[in-house]
A = this chain, B = another copy of it.
Amino acid sequence: MDEFAPFTSKLNRPIESKNVEFQRLGRLKHIINAAQLTPELLQTLCRTADTIRRLAKHRSGNDALRNLLSDKRAMLYFTQPSTRTFLSFMAACQILGLTCNEVRDPKTSSEVKRESRMDSIRMFSSYFDIIIMRSLAKDFAECCAYLMNRLEEQEKRSVPVINAGSGSDEHPTQALLDYYTIDRSFDFDERTDGVESRLPDLKADYPDLISGVGHKTYAFCGDIGRGRTVRSLARVLSQFPGTSMFFVSPDHEALKLDNDLRQELIRQGVSVQEFDTLEADVNGRPLIEQIDCLYMTRIQREHNSESTESELQQLDLEPFRLTVDRVNRVKSYAPILHPFPRDSVVGEIPVEVDSDPRAMYFRQARNGMWVRAALLVHLFDVADRLHEAEVGLLRS
């Protein structure tokens, strides 16, 4: 697209060169891709999210949170339809007192008037203090970050950009919430009255079990080829030592692990294996019984061509569906995630599974709210004030 022309030369660079431009003194200026989520940053954001949810348990904590960013205004620019991510960001903003504004119709009046999208973005940055955007256009969020950087160089008004889903490519904040859910599962803390570790009990059954995200076996099941959430999360997890990944998908070109991602993960030292059923034999035992975490996905239908759609209709999806029996055979501590929505017709996770303690997908959604709030705290650089608020609350 012509309007991206000033920045196209920046798009085909190695991701490391890009990402230095999206940060400043070790803190993010923009979040554009999942590769920005280093283990250190993940640790920071997860602990900030923990603080926020602790504060949110009390009325006075909520008041302190809502005061943090009450002088800021956010633009949620979601031209790709999305209910869940949108509402999650809305709630995250509201927790921190950020006032929300939205543009969701892809055919806004300005486009009718042939305004370039870069002009729209700069308009948003005139009125608002952060732009949270989701778009079908692959490089749009990235180009917006470059535009903001250029304005900053010219000593003009510039605001942070959050990529809330861009094309079929990246969805870094989904990876962030998935990671946060896994991180909390693998600390094995029980949080009913006070905090108590379940690890000693679990070791009776699983003697080799250790806490933490590393040294675990992750299974991704369903639409591996097109699920940007799988791609983003796998990249994030690949940074941790001793990681194994099983990719379980139907034998169809569109749905299988693509070669680029496979090579990238292997280069990172991940042990990668591919299967075509949750019951596949792995060293003599069914896969479903040997994993530490199961990440289910929906077979995406909305972007299929007619021929692909009819091919997918032919597939037997039973091997990629959970059942109560299968869930019962999953390790007792292993979290089951799903980025949602799930497909109520295919039923990759039937509602009977919802009450199982391993089913984390509703908690995962709520985690998204907390960790997105943490991301906002980070981008606006108010973590210090957040921690002061907590200290103040503990004293009183």
Q: Of the listed stretches A12-20, A80-88, A137-145, name the one at the interface; the rest are far from the partner chain.
A: A80-88
- Measured CB to CB, the closest approach of chain B to A369, in angstroms, equals 6
Question: Is the CB of A362 closer than 8 A to any CB of chain B?
Answer: yes
List which A74-107 residues lie within 8 A (CB) of chain B.
Answer: 75, 81-84, 87-88, 90-91, 94, 99, 101, 103
Contacts of A87 in B (CB 8 A): 75, 101, 103, 123-124, 127-128
Binary contact readout A113-143 vs B (1 if CB under 8 angstroms, 0 otherwise): 1111011101110111000000000000000
Binding-face segment, A46-54, A63-71, A166-174, A214-222: A63-71
From A89, which residue of chain B is reached at the shortest CB distance?
B127
A262 at the interface (CB under 8 A from B): no
A331 interface hit (Cβ, 8 Å): no
Bound-complex Cα distance A116 to B344 (A): 6
| A342 adjacent to B94 (CB under 8 Å) | no
The answer to whether A123 and B82 touch (CB under 8 A), given A63-B71, A71-B63, A112-B302, is no
A345 at the interface (CB under 8 A from B): yes
Known: A340-B119, A341-B113, A362-B122. A63 touches B70 (CB 8 A): yes
B66 and A113 contacting across the interface, CB-CB below 8 Å: no
Whether the pair B342, A115 counts as a contact (CB closer than 8 A) is: yes
Whether B109 contacts A101 by the Cβ 8 Å rule is no
A59 within 8 A of partner (CB): yes
Please provide the chain A residues from 297 to 350 with a CB less than 8 Å away from any CB of chain B in the complex.
298, 300-302, 340-346
Counting every copy of the chain, the complex holds 3
Q: Does B66 lie within 8 Å of A123, measured CB to CB?
A: no
Identify which of B62, B71, B81, B341 contacts A59 (C-beta below 8 A).
B71
A154 within 8 A of B: yes
Smallest CB–CB gap between A142 and chain B, Å? 18
Is residue A365 contacting chain B, with contact meaning CB distance below 8 A?
yes
B70 touches A113 (CB 8 A): no
A273 on the B face (CB < 8 A)? no
Q: Which residues of B contact A283 (CB under 8 A)?
A: none
Least distance between A41 CB and chain B CB atoms (Å): 24
Is A23 positioned at the interface, with any CB of B under 8 Å from its CB?
no
B83 touches A109 (CB 8 A): yes
Q: Is A21 an interface residue (CB 8 A)?
A: no
Please indicate the chain B residues that have their CB under 8 angstroms from the CB of A118 in the complex. 351
Give the complex CA separation of A59 and B67 in angstroms.
Answer: 11
Q: Which of B3, B128, B341, B343 contacts A91 (CB 8 A)?
A: B128
Chain B hits for A300, CB < 8 A = 113
Is the pair A344, B119 in contact by a Cβ cutoff of 8 Å?
yes
Shortest Cβ gap from A74 to chain B (Å): 10
A sample of 27 inter-chain contacts (CB < 8 A) reads: A2-B344, A66-B71, A73-B94, A75-B87, A81-B108, A81-B109, A81-B112, A83-B109, A83-B120, A84-B110, A87-B123, A87-B124, A88-B127, A110-B341, A112-B302, A113-B300, A113-B341, A113-B343, A114-B345, A115-B340, A115-B342, A118-B351, A119-B344, A123-B340, A123-B362, A126-B366, A127-B366
